[in-house]
Structure 1
Amino acid sequence: MAHATLFPIALLGCLCLGLASGQTRTGDSDLTVELSELRVLVKGMEAKLNDSSTKDGDLEARLNATEQQVEKLQTEVQRLGKENQEGPKVAFSASLAASGEARLKHSDASPNLVYKRIFTNTGNAYDSNTGSFTAPLKGLYFFSFSTFGYHNVLSGAILTKNGEYMVSSYDPPATGDTGDTGGNSVILQLEAGEKVTMTLWKNSEVFDNLNGHTTFSGFLLFPL
């Protein structure tokens, strides 16, 4: 911008030198007219340069403001990402038999199925002593389970919320049947302290071994 400001001054100097060397019209009146015209030209050019400088300044101010807004947005995204990473983590997955084989009848489940082989229990919301999942906070939770009935038996299980039936699997006995697998899943809204458990249909049974046929899993989708 400094070089642009010097330009009209240099132009005026060059033209004045030209006038002094006789390269303009003769006579004092002609010289006066010429100098007046040059002064008007220089003032006009300076006005344009000043206007351009003002516009450049406004543009720079707007750019600076935009950069500040972008920085604020980046800071907010980083904060939200950190909060999400540090948010509650609740997930569990387990199967019925921790070793050997387990064949449980309705009369053996008192009253819940207790899954002993723990694959994961992040947040420790599942109790392997009682078979109950207790919601640590209000939120939406996803649950799934699988059941296996060995030979010609009634098999299946019921997922309950605070003892109330929610969803189930059910497979009646059939002649010549060697085994059946069932399962189901559900999304439940739970308050902190509410319990989800698995129980058997009356006169039904399930089988499991280290192949993990009969399972129970769940996790927090998001808090409310």
Structure 2
Amino acid sequence: MNMKTPGAVLLLLCSGLVVVAAESGRTNLQDEASAAASTQEKSQPDIHSVLREMSTKIDAMETRLRASEDEVMNLQKRNEEKKVSFSVSLETNTNKYTGPFNTGTTLVYKHIITNIGNAYNSNTGLFTAPVQGVYDFSVYVYGAGGSIELGAVLRRNEKNLVMAYTEADTGSLNASNGVSVLLEVGDVVDVFLPANHRILDNANHHSTFRGHLLFPV
């Protein structure tokens, strides 16, 4: 029987320990690498979740943007509604009297000098309040002296507010009057020519009707 020397036995034992240690080291390294990879995978966010979150944020931003745009448009619309001003005269270029008539009538001012907000209707002679507020109106009448009276009445909803009136036997005559008045939306203001009165106008635009919104309420 071949007996190995103690040195050989010791060498064999050391070699085995080295092999076992190497194998154990490789196993530990593989385990650590696998654990690190798993941890990294867990720490990285899911790309689909990130995209969904970004999409949700973009939708919210677009909603806020649309709301802001709508608010700007509403503000612009309200601002435009507050711009109300007009000035008109009875005739464009013709030198003529309107009246006298047997019954009173609303004067239709044909010549538009300005009509911001389009609240004055040149077909009917009526001003219709587009917004609630305090408005300022003036009426000017012109003519020649004589037996026929010269004058016109400023009315709200067919009720008299003020009158511009004058009379004399000879010479050129003119009169004016004005008022500030609270109007509701849809209230109507016109200039009324009483029966047996007249007004003269021509290319110089002596006889006018004007008004504008002072402030909304």
Question: TM-score range, shorter-chain basis?
Answer: 0.5 to 0.7
Q: How does 1:45-56 map to 2 (within 5 A)?
A: none
Q: How does 1:27-106 map to 2 (within 5 A)?
A: 88-106=82-100
In 1, the alpha carbon distance for the partners of 2:182 and 2:119 equals: 15
Select 2:127's aligned residue among 122, 126, 133. 133
Out of 149, 154, 159, the residue aligned to residue 154 of structure 1 is: 149
Shift of 1:149: 1.8
TM-score by length of 1: 0.59
Q: Does 1:170 align with 2:165?
A: yes
Answer yes or no: is the 8 Å Cα contact 1:101–1:209 preserved in 2: yes
Which entry has the higher C-alpha Rg, 1 or 2? 2
Aligned-partner residue type, residue 167 of structure 1: V
Structure 1 residues without counterparts, runs of 5 or longer: 1-78
Which amino acid in the other structure matches residue 86 of structure 2? F
Residues 108 and 209 of structure 1: CA distance in aligned 2, closer, same or farther (over 3 Å) = farther
SS in 2 for 1:100: coil
Shift of the 184–145 alpha-carbon distance from structure 1 to 2, 3 Å rule, reads: same
Residue 106 of structure 2, aligned match among 95, 102, 112: 112
Q: Residue type of the partner of 2:211?
A: G
- 1:120-162 superposed Cα distances (whole Å, 9 cap, x missing partner): 0000000000100000011100001100122313101100000
Structure 1 position 102, deviation (Å): 2.5
Residue 199 of structure 2 corresponds to which residue in structure 1?
206
Q: Tell me, which stretches of 5 or more residues in structure 2 are unaligned? A: 1-71
Q: Give me the whole-angstrom Cα distance separating, in 1, the residues matched to 2:197 and 2:203.
A: 21
Do residues 179 (structure 1) and 172 (structure 2) align? Answer: yes
Check 1:186–1:222 CA distance in 2 against 1; reply closer, same or farther (3 A cut): same
Q: Distance in 1 between matches of 2:125 and 2:80?
A: 28
Equivalent in 193, 214, 217 of residue 221 of structure 1 = 214
| Rounded Cα–Cα distance in structure 1 between residues aligned with 2:90 and 2:103 | 11
1:106 Cα deviation (Å)? Answer: 3.9
Q: RMSD across aligned C-alpha pairs, in angstroms?
A: 2.1
Query: Does the C-alpha gap of structure 1 residues 150 and 143 become closer, same or farther in structure 2, counting only changes over 3 Å?
Result: same
| CA contact 2:137–2:209 (8 Å) conserved in 1 | yes
Contact 1:100 1:209 (C-alpha < 8 Å) held by counterparts:
yes
Further displaced range: 108-117 or 139-148 = 108-117
Return closer, same or farther for 1:140/1:206 CA change in 2, 3 Å cut-off. same
How far is the alpha carbon of 1:85 from its aligned partner? 5.9
8 Å contact kept, 1:162–1:195: yes
Counterpart of 1:192 in structure 2 is 185
TM-score normalised by length of structure 2: 0.61
